[in-house]
Chain A
Amino acid sequence: MAEEKYETHEYDVIVIGAGGAGLRAAIEASAQGVRTALVCKSLLGKAHTVMAEGGIAAAMGNVYPEDNWKVHFRDTMRGGKLLNNWRMAQIHAEESPERVLELEEWGALFDRTQEGLILQRDFGGHRYARLAHVGDRTGLEMIRTLQQHAVHKGLDVYMECNLQRLLTDGGRISGAFGYWRESGKFILFKCKAVVLATGGGGKAWKVTSNSWEYTGDGVTMATDVGADLMDMEFIQFHPTGMVWPPSVRGILVTEGVRGDGGTLKNTEGNRFMFNYIPDFFRAETADTEKEADAWYEDKRNNRRTPDLLPRDEVARAINSEVKAGRGTAHGGVFLDIASRRPADYIQRRLPSMYHQFKELADVDITKEPMEVGPTCHYCMGGVRVDADSTATTVPGLFAAGEVAAGLHGANRLGGNSLSDLLVFGRRAGLYAAQYVKSFSGNASVNNDQVENYARELLAPFEAKGGENPYTLHQELQDCMQNLVGIIRVDSELRQALEKIAELKQRLRNVTVEGHRQYNPGWHLALDLHSLLSFAMAATVAAIERKESRGGHTRDDYPNPDPKFAKVNVVIRKTKEGLSVTQEPLPEIPEELKKLLEEQK
């Protein structure tokens, strides 16, 4: 029996991933009175949420009283090029203020307004200053608050424990299987429901802001047990990552730099974003430098600076400037706040950016411009979920945060991720608990399934092929960077598919040295399984969408196509392989549709 052979724990709900979504889900499930465990690959508090800088988008109206959920809903939908699941966008906009205030009840200390309320900052695509923040380390405040709250609630946490496979019984979730990183020993969880909060797959790209953890585990585990994926073609390249020196290429530079007055310039000294205002945003975007600069102080009489267009627009613009020969020698453009704001303001508002550039690039951002360029940052697509409950198409499986698809459509607005984690993390915990309570059957663990998984996970120690997992990972990153990057074209996407298929073959020959105890080579070999599945799904979806929209730009189909405005690309695993279909977007109710059209 698997339960006797391996360390086994039994819970009602297992939450996989301990970033904002996982922590919030576990807190909620536990509060609902079901036995809950939180399982994470790193130490608690180190998930990528900790790196989020800018803030949490929530229409609290503390700075602009005219802000409300309807405006936030509209901004989110338009930022996502209207491909968002409208119901998720509505729930998100309605509930995020409450979730931010809840953090304050749990001890978070956001920066304050003169009146003593939570201060809100400007960010791309948001009509009003909307992001609750703590300088440029909002994610740290959020994860620490949630972490401490969870710990004080007595939640069971399994740290440095990597769950690799989901177990099912008659199509329902019955558990999860993986290993302890420290000892390499297997661990089996028996449970009725699993919440995936595993983040995205950004580590498949070479220039990325993502850490080693973002290997597409959740997406892969979900498809392997039959869940649908959606919108996998939409990858967000954050416009401002560090570009120099090479060892730090890709590390994030917060959009808060532009929110606080920074502007993008090419090597000719021009604020080039004024040349890249798309028709879709023309009515709400300033077309002179004077108006753009005045907007920071007076939003009622001025339109938003094009420096703060949604991220997909800015990333493409930077890409075009560099291609046109107006980029820096290192392939970036300048981001200048030094000439626009006083040094003490910059240090107060952006302390960690100041520190990061000073320490890693010898650049003093209060005196010189930064050099920046696009970096792979976020996956809009992921596991398809029910808008209200976060339930996937597999009974007992829920997903929240970056691993889930729908809220952000074709492009996510900055600040909408942290709020997403809180709003849908809570809902995932709530509905997983409800599912458990209403499920009277018995979900049992299938021994053969477990034994198969155990064999798969140990295969790299047996294989004799001599392939190096690090080499395979580098080849995948080069492939995705060069062939499935910001600008895509059919021939290159197909080339990428061939390369991914080749790497999948070679993965069987990966050999790892050493033993099972804390062995990063082995861990990477196992992560390659999910990285490759993720990369395959992203590429297949990118081939299917023959248009340009949000975080998916096709050189061979450079414009949006009204036909594709009405569909999501859905991927599921069948016996024959991956099936790719176009499925209609849910119909948006009339009263919400009106909100999108209003230009005021």
Chain B
Amino acid sequence: MAGQEVHMRVWRGDVTGGEFKDYRLTTGEGMVVLDVIHAIQATQAGDLAVRWNCKAGKCGSCSAEVNGKPRLMCMTRMNTFQPGETITVAPIKAFPIIRDLVTDVSFNFEKAKSIPPFKPKPKEADGTRRMFQEDIDLVQEFHKCIECFLCQNVCHVIRDHEENKKAFAGPRLFVRLAALEMHPLDTNDRMDFIKQKAGLGLCNITKCCTEVCPEHIHITDNAIIPLKERIVDRYYDPVARILGLFKTGTKDK
């Protein structure tokens, strides 16, 4: 698509309302959507608001809905579109608009504050911390999260139900909770929090979060479902609860 004219439709507006505006420009070799947004800024709309930082899929700042699909703009190549295709770029929907492509994602930071913190067990007798790679592989997968909040954006529980935000933390925070719960050194107990405050029960495992994760974290299978099992073990099933003590990966409390 290099050297071709593209037709972009970019949402412009703020909390009071807005509309898609048309921009036409010529693309260069290898460009991603974020490059095109920057080119619009530099030549046609200096005040077009967009968040970005690393431009390499590592910081999770430039989330948007490109042709309706939640994407990192920096990792969406222009040559993945058909020649002549109009490309629409809109802010992610689940969060309140600030301006243009920038939304108010403070929900995620507020929820993060409420999570019971990491509480490590005492060190080994020789003063070290010994953990084995196979015991941390899964938690390291969770630590790959770049906080782009695309999973939050597509989660039905909050995308279309503002009222649920109060009682629901969302997939990003479930990944964080799973990382803490499965951390080999951690001793804190978050089961009540996960059940009562984070609202894990509201998740009906449609896997939309997993599908959009740019880091390919198995959010549903590796984080959410095991957390649900732990909740069941703890609160609903005395037999499973006893058996659960012998499962690998179950933490000493």
* Interface of A toward B, CB cutoff 8 Å: 42-48, 50-51, 101, 104-107, 109, 111-112, 115-117, 134-135, 137, 140-141, 144, 148-149, 151-152, 159, 182, 211-213, 244-248, 251-252, 352, 355-356, 359-361, 468-471, 474, 512-515, 517-522
In the bound assembly, the distance between CA atoms of A288 and B96 in angstroms comes to: 61
* Contact among B35, B53, B100 for A213, CB-based, below 8 A: B53
Given contacts A246-B28, A247-B30, A520-B50, contact A359 B57 (CB under 8 A): yes
Check A470 against B29 for contact (C-beta < 8 Å). Answer: no
Check B146 against A360 for contact (C-beta < 8 Å). Answer: no
* Interface of B toward A, CB cutoff 8 Å: 14, 28-32, 35, 41-43, 45-61, 75, 77, 98-100, 102, 104-105, 109, 112-113, 115, 117-118, 120, 128-133, 136, 139-140, 143-147, 180, 183, 185-186
B104 cross-chain contacts in A, Cβ below 8 A: 182
In the A-B complex, list the 3 residue pairs whose CB atoms are closest, starting with the nearest: A245-B30, A521-B46, A514-B47
* Contact among B42, B75, B131, B145 for A109, CB-based, below 8 A: B131
Check A140 against B144 for contact (C-beta < 8 Å). Answer: yes
In the bound assembly, the distance between CA atoms of A522 and B146 in angstroms comes to: 28
B30 cross-chain contacts in A, Cβ below 8 A: 244-248, 360-361
Chain B residue with minimal CB distance to A153? Answer: B117
Chain A residue with minimal CB distance to B109? Answer: A44
Given contacts A246-B28, A359-B75, A519-B47, contact A117 B128 (CB under 8 A): yes
In the bound assembly, the distance between CA atoms of A520 and B46 in angstroms comes to: 7
Given contacts A45-B147, A112-B131, contact A247 B32 (CB under 8 A): yes
A251 cross-chain contacts in B, Cβ below 8 A: 55-56
Check A520 against B75 for contact (C-beta < 8 Å). Answer: no
Chain A residue with minimal CB distance to B47? Answer: A514
Chain B residue with minimal CB distance to A252? Answer: B56
A109 cross-chain contacts in B, Cβ below 8 A: 131, 136, 139-140, 143, 183
Check B120 against A105 for contact (C-beta < 8 Å). Answer: yes
Chain B residue with minimal CB distance to A471? Answer: B42
| Sample of 26 A–B contacts (CB below 8 Å) | A43-B51, A44-B109, A45-B147, A46-B54, A46-B61, A48-B54, A50-B146, A51-B54, A109-B131, A109-B140, A109-B143, A148-B117, A152-B117, A211-B52, A211-B54, A244-B30, A245-B28, A246-B28, A251-B55, A359-B75, A469-B46, A470-B43, A513-B46, A518-B100, A520-B50, A521-B46
Check A512 against B118 for contact (C-beta < 8 Å). Answer: no
Check B47 against A521 for contact (C-beta < 8 Å). Answer: yes
Check A520 against B98 for contact (C-beta < 8 Å). Answer: no
Check A50 against B54 for contact (C-beta < 8 Å). Answer: yes
Given A152-B117, A246-B30, 9 other A-B residues pairs in contact with their CB atoms under 8 A: A50-B53, A152-B113, A245-B28, A352-B57, A355-B57, A359-B57, A360-B77, A469-B46, A513-B45
A469 cross-chain contacts in B, Cβ below 8 A: 46
Chain A residue with minimal CB distance to B60? Answer: A46
Interface of B is mostly: loop
In the bound assembly, the distance between CA atoms of A141 and B144 in angstroms comes to: 8
- Least distance between A347 CB and chain B CB atoms (Å): 12
Check B53 against A42 for contact (C-beta < 8 Å). Answer: yes
* Contact among B49, B100, B131, B183 for A116, CB-based, below 8 A: B131
- B56, B100, B130 — which one has the most chain A CB atoms within 10 A of its CB? B56
Check A247 against B29 for contact (C-beta < 8 Å). Answer: yes
In the bound assembly, the distance between CA atoms of A284 and B132 in angstroms comes to: 34
Given contacts A144-B143, A151-B112, A470-B42, contact A360 B28 (CB under 8 A): no
B98 cross-chain contacts in A, Cβ below 8 A: 182, 517-518
- Least distance between B190 CB and chain A CB atoms (Å): 13
In the bound assembly, the distance between CA atoms of A105 and B120 in angstroms comes to: 7
In the bound assembly, the distance between CA atoms of A359 and B214 in angstroms comes to: 11
Chain A residue with minimal CB distance to B72? Answer: A359
In the bound assembly, the distance between CA atoms of A356 and B49 in angstroms comes to: 26
Check B32 against A521 for contact (C-beta < 8 Å). Answer: no
Check B47 against A245 for contact (C-beta < 8 Å). Answer: no
A512 cross-chain contacts in B, Cβ below 8 A: 46-47
In the bound assembly, the distance between CA atoms of A361 and B133 in angstroms comes to: 31
A149 cross-chain contacts in B, Cβ below 8 A: 117
- Least distance between A113 CB and chain B CB atoms (Å): 9
Check B41 against A470 for contact (C-beta < 8 Å). Answer: yes
A112 cross-chain contacts in B, Cβ below 8 A: 131-133, 136
Check A134 against B143 for contact (C-beta < 8 Å). Answer: yes
Chain B residue with minimal CB distance to A510? Answer: B46
A246 cross-chain contacts in B, Cβ below 8 A: 28-30
* Contact among A140, A212, A352, A518 for B49, CB-based, below 8 A: A518
- Least distance between A314 CB and chain B CB atoms (Å): 21
Check A518 against B131 for contact (C-beta < 8 Å). Answer: no
B118 cross-chain contacts in A, Cβ below 8 A: 106-107, 148, 152
Check A137 against B58 for contact (C-beta < 8 Å). Answer: yes
* Contact among A51, A101, A513, A519 for B59, CB-based, below 8 A: A51
Check B46 against A514 for contact (C-beta < 8 Å). Answer: yes
Chain B residue with minimal CB distance to A118? Answer: B129
Check A140 against B46 for contact (C-beta < 8 Å). Answer: no
Check A520 against B130 for contact (C-beta < 8 Å). Answer: no
Check A211 against B55 for contact (C-beta < 8 Å). Answer: yes
Chain A residue with minimal CB distance to B76? Answer: A359
* Contact among A107, A470, A518, A520 for B183, CB-based, below 8 A: A107
Check A360 against B32 for contact (C-beta < 8 Å). Answer: yes
A134 cross-chain contacts in B, Cβ below 8 A: 140, 143
- Least distance between B234 CB and chain A CB atoms (Å): 23
Chain B residue with minimal CB distance to A473? Answer: B42
Chain A residue with minimal CB distance to B48? Answer: A520
B51 cross-chain contacts in A, Cβ below 8 A: 42-43
- Least distance between B150 CB and chain A CB atoms (Å): 14
A135 cross-chain contacts in B, Cβ below 8 A: 140
* Contact among B45, B46, B129, B144 for A137, CB-based, below 8 A: B144
A212 cross-chain contacts in B, Cβ below 8 A: 52-53
- Least distance between B15 CB and chain A CB atoms (Å): 10
- Least distance between A360 CB and chain B CB atoms (Å): 7
Check A519 against B49 for contact (C-beta < 8 Å). Answer: yes
Check A470 against B46 for contact (C-beta < 8 Å). Answer: yes
- A45, A159, A469, A474 — which one has the most chain B CB atoms within 10 A of its CB? A45
- Least distance between B27 CB and chain A CB atoms (Å): 9
B186 cross-chain contacts in A, Cβ below 8 A: 107
B183 cross-chain contacts in A, Cβ below 8 A: 107, 109
In the bound assembly, the distance between CA atoms of A521 and B45 in angstroms comes to: 9
Check B53 against A360 for contact (C-beta < 8 Å). Answer: no
B41 cross-chain contacts in A, Cβ below 8 A: 470, 520-521
- Least distance between A147 CB and chain B CB atoms (Å): 9
- Least distance between A5 CB and chain B CB atoms (Å): 24
- Least distance between A570 CB and chain B CB atoms (Å): 32
A213 cross-chain contacts in B, Cβ below 8 A: 53
- Least distance between B96 CB and chain A CB atoms (Å): 11
- Least distance between A21 CB and chain B CB atoms (Å): 17
A352 cross-chain contacts in B, Cβ below 8 A: 57-58
B143 cross-chain contacts in A, Cβ below 8 A: 109, 134, 140-141, 144
